[in-house]
Structure 1
Amino acid sequence: MIVPITRFRKRRNNAICAAITLPALLASVASVHAQTAADLAAATPPAHAVWLETTDISQMQAGWGAPAVDKTIDGHPLTLKGTVFPHGVGTHAPSSFHVLLHGGATRFSAVVGADDETQGHEASVTFQVVVDDKTVAQTPVLRPGDAPQLISVDLTGAKDLLLKVGDGGDGISFDHADWGGAAITLASDASPKPEAYVIPQTPPRLVIPTPDPKPAIHGPRITGVTPGHPFLFRIPATGDGPLTFSAKNLPAGLTLSSGTGIITGALTAAGTTDVTLTVRGAKGTATRTLTIIGGDKKVAQTPPMGWNSWNVWGTSVTEERVKASADQMLQSGLAGHGYGYINIDDAWEAGRDADGKIQTNEKFPDIKALGDYIHGLGLRFGIYSSPGTKTCGGYTASYQHEQQDADSYAAWGVDYLKYDWCSYEDVAKGDHSLPSLQKPYLVMSDALSKVNRDIVFSFCQYGMGDVWKWGAETGGNSWRTTGDIQDNWGSLHDIYTHQAGHEVYAGPGHWNDPDMLMVGIVGFGNTHPTHLKPNEQILHMSMWCLLSSPLLIGCDMTRLDPFTLALLSNDEALDINQDPLGKPAARVTTADDKDVWARPLFDGTHAVGLVNGTDEPATITARWSDLGVKGKQPVRDLWLHKDLGAFADSYSVEVPAHGCVLLKIGKSK
């Protein structure tokens, strides 16, 4: 039962002290009376009841931050339309919490809504209560200032209680959700106490292979550049060294360093050229074709792969940390698997000189030299700004200096620009019409088109206005489809489940971006191992490869453990991401949070992800009819690096909770 609460009377201590005009709420079993909002705002629990927070709230998932006991997600008193609840749980959409009841409870009650601290923001949340796999309560979308809702549901004889918070269908920005005064009433004081369900942690479904000593070429099979603009491409290769490189049919204007595998120069003419690359090592020789396209706006033919500073360093990024990351890209071997960008995020800026030219702060004393250093390694150099007056971190942004900044970036050798909406909200003044959303990106796109180098243009505006539908025509090479990712299951689950349908808008040169990778040591300056469990990380990497997402590592490159390296360097998975056909995966079936995602590949095979978003292992089936193939098909498991045999019509496998089995189905041409 859900009842809107329309009138509160409060004492100075903010506790509700008077009866509220509500219908009588009676339990349907054993005549147990439901708690009223007044009961739930008291300092002590109702008779025979325990507060929800007495269970292990650390098991609650949230889309941002960590759920808090008796506080909001931001650490403030739980407040719904002016009423403070001394007990309860503050969380952030999307959120879920599974409680084991052992048949000893009779009722769950809570007052729910978007916390008052979200006033002035476009927050929206929904609350759902599921008892023994049946939804028994669902609120409408609740926004800041809306009347909170009293939820009261019968639990008599129930085994499981699942509490969920949704994002209201418009993203998770500021979706601070309160379970105010949440209480579970027991049949008696002797009843077994509720306890948080702990998701079973099975070993990661992944085999770390022994490095192959034979030479191999990896990464993109196609790349594009504007004739006359600087060209830089490091041939990604692995194998026992020393490695030497050669190329047949290089276009005019390009040269290859045989010792480093770095191709530089500038195309003299437009056109498409197939180049035969060869790498030789101590254990043999490997060849591969690289297609080079010369023409206007031909960058990002495959999703960019590299590293970005934000998810690990936040505003504490420094030149030394960026250089160390670039060095480690080579020393770890990840450059040999196709990672090529080193991107500085926010916190490099330091105002403007008398002529309005953007300056760097003391952490980056010579940014041109830093760019040269990165280029000297055969890697590309990225930077960050905002179309507003300030960046997200409060630093100088590009508003009304777009061409000046584009000229500076070109002079510094920048190859990639992440452009973050942030304070442009103050310029737009709440106008989220399509022309308003497009305007700042059109302005910077025009500025970038006038400089003498190719700069990948990455929109960071969180998916507003269905950016995937218009990002390409506005000059974007990629665009964020979501809010910022966090290193927790709630965030990851919300992001990947909301990508369905976006795939039709992406392809070579323009990609959906569900944000950066959250594996390894992360933390936005407060570093720690990712809170994503190993199988969640496997799902994360699998989905980003299936979706043709930019693969920007967000961790401390100097502390890469074997598991993280295995995740990031699986060439069979990376080949899906970098497939030259450029057709991101679609969700072909879904049922009860168990999905099948699939995409065709250039060699005639299909990549398939069996994705289990539930809290228990589950058997999931890929059916050939859903993929558009017939007859017996060979199946290969890409995380186990194992051929499984040929199967007629379908293939089924048990997938770990919060896990993914990544398959390649069919025979290459």
Structure 2
Amino acid sequence: MLDRIREAVHLHRRRAAAVSTALALCASGVLVAAASSATVLVAAPPAAALDNGLARTPQMGFNDWNAYGCNVSESLIESTAQAMHTDGMQAAGYTYVNIDDCWMTHSRDSAGRLVPDPAKFPDGIAGTAAYVHSLGLKLGIYEDAGTATCAGYPGSLGHETTDAQTFASWGVDYLKYDNCNNNGVPAQSRYTAMRDALAATGRPILFSLCNWGQENVWTWGAGVGNSWRTTGDINASFSSMLSIFHSNAGLAAYAGPGHWNDPDMLEVGNGSLTQTEARSEFSLWSEMAAPLIAGTNIASASSATLSTLTNTRVIAVDQDPLGKQGVLVSSAGGLDVLAKPLSNGDVAVALFNETGSTATISTTAGAVGKTGASSYTLTDLWSGAVSSTSGTISASVPSHGTVMYRLSGGSSTGSDPSGPIRAVGAGRCLDVPGSTSTAGTQVDIWDCNGGANQLWTRTASGQLTVTSGGARMCLDAYDNRTAPGTKVEIWSCNGQANQQWQVNADGTIVGTQSGLCLDVTQAATANGTPVELWTCNGASNQHWTLS
């Protein structure tokens, strides 16, 4: 959580190093099934989720760090719990009251156990937990998967069993596990060691991984924790919130019940965020099925802050039991449309204006995954207003603001989940170079790394879409050409035949318009090799696997 580690935050935007690539390939679920003379395109099952029965919907609660830093204490945690109990937050679904760094002494006791700071926690963590539990809430605690926490207190590396048993004996319900001072030990092994230690206690403890999005954690996190941070630390500014939104938005394929992408705690009520920006953060985090962990002074929160944090219509989107993270439908000129399918067949639609002036943002029912009705119902989730539409969804959205609707009626079009498309001959993934959103950029192959620019979605209309550079783009045959050698590029989705693809059981991907195969140029295997259309010939450079 310290500034000195922020430079490590956005590794998933860069080309993965060899070790990270190996982890991503092992954990991403890419599967190659060989028949006698052809490689078959197989949909691999998703990675098994951590089976501890927790976080079936994204966790909701409070953490003290954003508002208080190291100034944590028993009295602060108990007064916050009491405020949540009486101000509507608990009733709205907030369950966990979480202690962050600086709660312990600088040395373990003679038996090697962690010691709560007696000045800060005179009744110990067990006494604090008992008070929180008496209100019907749950207690969370912080530790680090290194030799020391980010603030320099004892870490759990090498002490996982003892510390897990200690937490369980105190009645802890949630562990946030940070990543400082890790001695270069791979994250997956460090976090797995604590996962196993927690499981061995027999106490249900929600496990929140906080390794700042390093080592493509989303590709292996589901089997280790209930959530994983996808980025570095947030701060209470619009620019920070916006950057983290862009980093998290393309990772929808990895989230689901019991395992969630975590774009960090809410800054609603803090710093320079305006009320409009705070509503945007809350809307976007809910649309992305993110944990909702409030990080403000709850006991002194304004009515506006509490109104934002307890909007039950928006919370219902975050907590929808289908467990789908919303995806970017379009993103042009800083005007974003996101769609999140819901368990009853509705779709939550967020219209987000990143720009500095009011703008009209529009989409359609078809674009967000609904069809088959002459009239749909739109519920504004902030105002509660209900209206009808023949299919157009449009609003005037203030600068940095978000309008959020629930769209009802018709039926869902559905689509396959996102995942990498792997070139069998090269063993590398179909990739948008540099994570650009520039239309006309030719796609290539690159080491599989789990980045958003390598996650492709097959739509019901036969498109292959990718969210790259924050924009949803389609795989496209250049200029509607049908000759061998035509470059394959990304382009704004337009429904034309040169953006429709047939994914075949023999491992080929064929352009509907051209009848030509998706082909790695000249059967090369190096990173950066461009992809084109070519006459189908059965060669390995025309075989692909989808996860």
Aligned to 1:363: 120
The structural deviation recorded for 1:168 is 10
Residues 507-558 of structure 1: CA deviation (Å, up to 9, x unaligned): 00000100001012x4xxxxxxx21111111100000111111111101111
The structural deviation recorded for 1:452 is 2.0
1:401-480 paired onto structure 2 within 5 Å: 401-424=159-182, 427-428=183-184, 436-473=186-223, 475-480=224-229
Aligned 8 A contact 2:376 2:410 in 1: no
Instruction: Measure, in 2, the Cα distance between the counterparts of 1:168 and 1:469.
Output: 11
Aligned to 2:441: none
Aligned 8 A contact 1:389 1:396 in 2: yes
Q: Partner amino acid for 1:326?
A: A
Aligned to 2:479: none
Aligned 8 A contact 1:603 1:668 in 2: no
Q: Partner amino acid for 2:87?
A: S
Instruction: Measure, in 1, the Cα distance between the counterparts of 2:12 and 2:95.
Output: 37
Query: Highest Rg: 1 or 2?
Result: 1
Aligned 8 A contact 2:12 2:214 in 1: no
Tell me the SS of whatever aligns to 2:258.
coil
1:2-13 paired onto structure 2 within 5 Å: none
Aligned to 2:334: 593
1:635 and 2:378 correspond: yes
Q: 2:405 aligns with which of 663, 666, 669?
A: 663
The structural deviation recorded for 1:633 is 0.9
Aligned to 2:151: 393
Q: 1:322 aligns with which of 77, 80, 92?
A: 77
Q: 2:109 aligns with which of 342, 353, 357?
A: 353
Instruction: Measure, in 1, the Cα distance between the counterparts of 2:12 and 2:201.
Output: 42
Q: 2:283 aligns with which of 530, 542, 553?
A: 542
1:600-619 paired onto structure 2 within 5 Å: 600-619=341-360
The structural deviation recorded for 1:167 is 9.9
Identity among equivalent positions (%) equals 41
The structural deviation recorded for 1:437 is 2.2
Instruction: Measure, in 2, the Cα distance between the counterparts of 1:585 and 1:592.
Output: 20
Residues 183-213 of structure 1: CA deviation (Å, up to 9, x unaligned): xxxxxxxxxxxxxxxxxxxxxxxxxxxxxxx
Q: Partner amino acid for 2:325?
A: P
The structural deviation recorded for 1:396 is 1.3
Instruction: Measure, in 2, the Cα distance between the counterparts of 1:455 and 1:562.
Output: 32
Q: 1:649 aligns with which of 385, 391, 413?
A: 391
Instruction: Measure, in 1, the Cα distance between the counterparts of 2:161 and 2:210.
Output: 19
Q: 1:310 aligns with which of 62, 65, 86?
A: 65
1:268-279 paired onto structure 2 within 5 Å: none
The structural deviation recorded for 1:652 is 1.1
The structural deviation recorded for 1:449 is 0.9
The runs of at least 4 aligned residues of structure 1 exceeding 6 Å deviation read: none
Tell me the SS of whatever aligns to 1:664.
strand
Task: Give 5+ residue unaligned stretches, structure 2.
Answer: 16-49, 412-547
Structure 1 vs Structure 2 CA RMSD: 2.3
Instruction: Measure, in 2, the Cα distance between the counterparts of 1:465 and 1:485.
Output: 19
Aligned 8 A contact 2:145 2:190 in 1: yes
Counterparts in 2 of 1:406 and 1:536: CA distance versus 1, 3 Å: same
Instruction: Measure, in 2, the Cα distance between the counterparts of 1:650 and 1:495.
Output: 29
Aligned to 1:179: none
Tell me the SS of whatever aligns to 1:497.
helix
Q: 1:335 aligns with which of 77, 90, 93?
A: 90
The structural deviation recorded for 1:668 is 9.8
Give the TM-score normalised by the residue count of structure 1: 0.54
Instruction: Measure, in 1, the Cα distance between the counterparts of 2:12 and 2:160.
Output: 35
Counterparts in 2 of 1:296 and 1:586: CA distance versus 1, 3 Å: closer
Aligned 8 A contact 1:124 1:170 in 2: no
The structural deviation recorded for 1:169 is 3.8
Residues 417-437 of structure 1: CA deviation (Å, up to 9, x unaligned): 00000111xx11xx6xxxx12
Aligned 8 A contact 2:268 2:295 in 1: yes
The structural deviation recorded for 1:331 is 1.4
**Structure with greater strand share of residues:** 1
Residues 463-495 of structure 1: CA deviation (Å, up to 9, x unaligned): 01221111012x210000111000011101101
Count of aligned positions: 372
Aligned to 1:566: 307
Instruction: Measure, in 1, the Cα distance between the counterparts of 2:110 and 2:150.
Output: 24
Residues 602-638 of structure 1: CA deviation (Å, up to 9, x unaligned): 1111100001101111110121121221232111111
**Structure with greater helix share of residues:** 2
Aligned 8 A contact 1:124 1:168 in 2: no
The structural deviation recorded for 1:296 is 4.8
1:497 and 2:246 correspond: yes
Aligned to 1:52: none
Q: 2:141 aligns with which of 373, 383, 387?
A: 383
Counterparts in 2 of 1:170 and 1:658: CA distance versus 1, 3 Å: farther
Q: Partner amino acid for 2:193?
A: V
Aligned 8 A contact 2:376 2:389 in 1: yes
Aligned 8 A contact 2:339 2:348 in 1: yes
Q: 2:257 aligns with which of 508, 528, 534?
A: 508
Q: Partner amino acid for 2:249?
A: A
Residues 54-99 of structure 1: CA deviation (Å, up to 9, x unaligned): xxxxxxxxxx99xxxxxxxx9xxxxxxxxxxxxxxxxxxxxxxxxx
Q: 1:484 aligns with which of 216, 230, 233?
A: 233
Instruction: Measure, in 2, the Cα distance between the counterparts of 1:332 and 1:586.
Output: 32
Residues 11-66 of structure 1: CA deviation (Å, up to 9, x unaligned): xxxxxxxxxxxxxxxxxxxxxxxxxxxxxxxxxxxxxxxxxxxxxxxxxxxxx99x
Task: Give 5+ residue unaligned stretches, structure 1.
Answer: 1-63, 66-73, 75-117, 126-165, 172-294, 523-529
1:374 and 2:132 correspond: yes
Instruction: Measure, in 2, the Cα distance between the counterparts of 1:349 and 1:628.
Output: 50
Aligned 8 A contact 1:597 1:610 in 2: yes
By relative contact order (CA 8 Å, sep 6+), the higher-ranking structure is 2
Instruction: Measure, in 2, the Cα distance between the counterparts of 1:587 and 1:489.
Output: 19
Aligned 8 A contact 1:482 1:514 in 2: yes
Instruction: Measure, in 1, the Cα distance between the counterparts of 2:404 and 2:251.
Output: 20
Aligned 8 A contact 1:357 1:405 in 2: yes
Aligned 8 A contact 2:149 2:181 in 1: yes
Aligned 8 A contact 1:585 1:598 in 2: yes
Instruction: Measure, in 2, the Cα distance between the counterparts of 1:398 and 1:628.
Output: 45
